[in-house]
Amino acid sequence: MNIDKKLYTLKYSSDTESHLKIPDKEKCRLCVSKNCTYICPAKVYEWNSDRQEIIINYENCLECGACRIACEKKAIDWEYPKGTKGVTFKQG
């Protein structure tokens, strides 16, 4: 089963603004591993080679915090979504 189908099982309330930000995109261009693109359990981060930047699908975020710790350039500004926003786990 692919990751998109897995994410369909979740209830989200998306904010209009991302709670995940990369203020300095140059850091991503210099990053060799780009580990955010494969460690994220919700595939939030995708490298766009045309635009030479990471696309952040923040609406899919499971709020685990792995990217914040794993990012070797410490490029991600990571905070929790607003109180009424983000993912809701019914099972947990």
From the list 7, 20, 56, 75, which residue makes contact with other proteins (rule: CB under 8 A)?
7
| Nearest distance in Å: CB 3, other proteins | 5
Task: Indicate the residue type of 82.
Answer: K
State the Cα–Cα distance between residues 86 and 47, nearest whole angstrom: 23
Copy the structure tokens of residue 84: 């009424």
From the list 27, 65, 73, 75, which residue makes contact with other proteins (rule: CB under 8 A)?
65
31, 44, 51, 78, 85 from 63: Cα distances, Å: 23, 10, 26, 9, 11
Q: If binding is defined by CB under 8 A, does position 84 make contact with other proteins?
A: yes
From the list 18, 47, 70, 73, which residue makes contact with other proteins (rule: CB under 8 A)?
70
Which residue is listed with tokens 């709020």?
Answer: 63
Q: If binding is defined by CB under 8 A, does position 66 make contact with other proteins?
A: yes
| Nearest distance in Å: CB 45, other proteins | 11
State the Cα–Cα distance between residues 60 and 39, nearest whole angstrom: 14
Q: If binding is defined by CB under 8 A, does position 92 make contact with other proteins?
A: yes
